[in-house]
Amino acid sequence: MVSFVGRSLTAQGADQATVRAEQIADDGVRDGAPIVVADPEEQFVQVLRGSTVVASSANVAGLPALAIPGPDDAVGVRIPTVAGPFIAASAVAVGVDGPRTVVVGLNIDDVDDARHLIALALLVAVPVLLVVVGLVTWRMVGRTLRLVEAMREEVERISSTELDRRVPTPLRDDEVGRLARTMNRMLDRLERGQERQRRFISDASHELRSPVAAIRQHAEVAVEHPDTTNLEELAGVVLAEDTRLQGLVDDLLLLARLGENLRPTRSEEVDLDDVVLAEAGRLRGTTPLAVDTRGVSTARIVGRRADLERIVRNLTENALHHARARIWLGVGTSDGTVALTVDDDGPGIPSADRERALERFVRLDGARGRATGGTGLGLSIVREVALAHGGVVVLGRSPQGGLRAEVRFPAS
């Protein structure tokens, strides 16, 4: 930096000397004529013919040529009559008897003073600046690390039973603040997930207990009263409860698998209209209700065929339980979205209960009770499978007055 400042000031002095030499040359010079300078301590002038001095300022009178710089050049010189270094530049003056070289020198002792002053300032200021920067950095880093340590300690204290606790969040919007808010959002998700898991385990244990308790009750009656026990009736009860238990376990295993995989494994392109028409054929052979498939058109999505069949099966089974005379199946494509619709002419679901109907183990009324053989997981499985395929489930009112269940998938 000191060297740069010195070169810059010296270059400025050379430019000024060049300008002054050009001014004197333009004014004209005469051999032997004295040249007046404003400050003999700061400037000298020599007029040369070749290397011979033919005119000069008083402060260098009688001295030989001190310097002969070339065009667009500057040289450093010293003169015996004035202390300090000079920078000299030249210009050419044209006379009647030949050219003359006008040499002007400017004192650049101030440049040395400036260099020394800057060097001294840097010698004092740089260590002080380093100390100040070090202290500020130490304080800022220490403060940041204390916040990070506070977050670490709070996270360490949070256990699986204390997910309601949160890490301290600084007010400023920097990396640490964003980290704290991100961690708190993660804890929010963990808390919600844990709450869902607890509720699911509680509901599942209750649902699993019911068929087991029914089997045990009938078995105890048979043991206590063997003479009056109808074995055929007992076998029918046990078989029905076992079937219900098996269905519940299968549903729980499917939900567990869907919870572990965000996207379906072994994905392939599936013709959804083929899946729907195959299900419609099965229904026509097992139910007296009319099955309308006029709304089914060609549509293809990417997914796991078995899971998509499960969606269609669950929706149609739900519609069969509540339809009075007919269900309507539809498949269509619009704006890159494939829509699967199942309508019935039953009582429908009130708008306030439609979102809750998609939750696990929810039965909204007696028609959706255990007597129908349902587990309360059908629509929740539909939603989980749809989410795994990038889809969404919407419950609404069908044009026939019942329930419309619509699943929207991205088209392949």
User: What pLDDT was estimated at residue 206?
Assistant: 67
User: What pLDDT was estimated at residue 203?
Assistant: 67
Decide which of 3.40.640.10, 1.10.287.130, 1.10.3720.10, 3.20.20.70 is the CATH code for 175-260: 1.10.287.130
HSE-CB for 401 with a 13 A CA cutoff: 7
- Compute the mean pLDDT over every residue in the chain, rounded to the nearest whole number: 82
Q: Which residues 6+ apart lie within 8 Å of 117 measured at CB?
A: none
Q: Which residue has the tokens 């709450």?
A: 195
The structure tokens listed for 382 are 């539909």
Check whether 85 has a pLDDT greater than 50: yes
pLDDT band at 370 (very low <50, low <70, confident <90, very high): very low
User: What pLDDT was estimated at residue 96?
Assistant: 56
Check whether 159 has a pLDDT greater than 90: no
pLDDT tens profile 181-203: 888 888 888 887 777 777 777 76
Lowest mean pLDDT segment, chosen from 231-245, 267-281, 284-298, 341-355: 231-245
Between 388 and 342, the more confident residue is 342
User: What pLDDT was estimated at residue 330?
Assistant: 97
Between 11 and 377, the more confident residue is 377
- Do the first three CATH levels of 175-260 and 268-410 match, i.e. the same topology? no
User: What pLDDT was estimated at residue 365?
Assistant: 58
Q: Which residues 6+ apart lie within 8 Å of 215 measured at CB?
A: 237, 238, 241, 242
User: What pLDDT was estimated at residue 328?
Assistant: 97
pLDDT band at 261 (very low <50, low <70, confident <90, very high): low
Check whether 111 has a pLDDT greater than 80: no
Lowest mean pLDDT segment, chosen from 142-146, 313-317, 391-395: 142-146
Q: Which residues 6+ apart lie within 8 Å of 282 measured at CB?
A: none
Bridge partners, residue 76, by sequence: 87
What's the CA gap between 100 and 22, in Å, rounded? 12
pLDDT band at 405 (very low <50, low <70, confident <90, very high): very high
What's the CA gap between 49 and 141, in Å, rounded? 71
Q: Which residues 6+ apart lie within 8 Å of 343 measured at CB?
A: 319, 327, 328, 330, 398, 399, 400, 402, 403, 404, 405
pTM attached to this predicted model: 0.51
What is the chain's Cα-based Rg?
A: 49
SS3 state at 355: coil
SS3 state at 39: coil
What percent of the chain is predicted at pLDDT more than 90?
A: 24
Fold of 2-113: Beta-Lactamase (3.30.450)
What percent of the chain is predicted at pLDDT more than 70?
A: 89
- Return the domain boundaries, the chain: 2-113, 175-260, 268-410
Q: Which residues 6+ apart lie within 8 Å of 305 measured at CB?
A: 268, 270, 275
Check whether 403 has a pLDDT greater than 90: yes
Check whether 17 has a pLDDT greater than 70: yes
Q: Residue 336 burial (CB < 10 Å; 0-12/13-18/19+)?
A: exposed
What's the CA gap between 271 and 36, in Å, rounded? 105
Rounded mean pLDDT of 119-141? 83
Lowest mean pLDDT segment, chosen from 117-131, 180-194, 253-267, 379-393: 253-267
Rounded mean pLDDT of 27-34? 74
pLDDT band at 263 (very low <50, low <70, confident <90, very high): low
Closest CA to 407 of 332, 340, 308: 340
Between 87 and 293, the more confident residue is 293
What's the CA gap between 89 and 19, in Å, rounded? 9
Bridge partners, residue 333, by sequence: 338
pLDDT band at 324 (very low <50, low <70, confident <90, very high): very high
Between 30 and 219, the more confident residue is 219
Between 6 and 398, the more confident residue is 398
Query: 268-410 falls under which CATH superfamily?
Result: Histidine kinase-like ATPase, C-terminal domain (3.30.565.10)
User: What pLDDT was estimated at residue 70?
Assistant: 72
Check whether 115 has a pLDDT greater than 90: no
On whether the CB atoms of residues 85 and 76 are closer than 8 A, the answer is: yes
Contacts 24+ apart (CB under 8 A), 158-166: 158/187, 160/194, 163/187, 163/190, 163/191, 163/194, 164/191
Rounded mean pLDDT of 113-133? 80
pLDDT tens profile 297-313: 999 999 989 899 999 99
Q: Alpha helices, DSSP H only, in 270-400?
A: 272-284, 305-322, 378-388
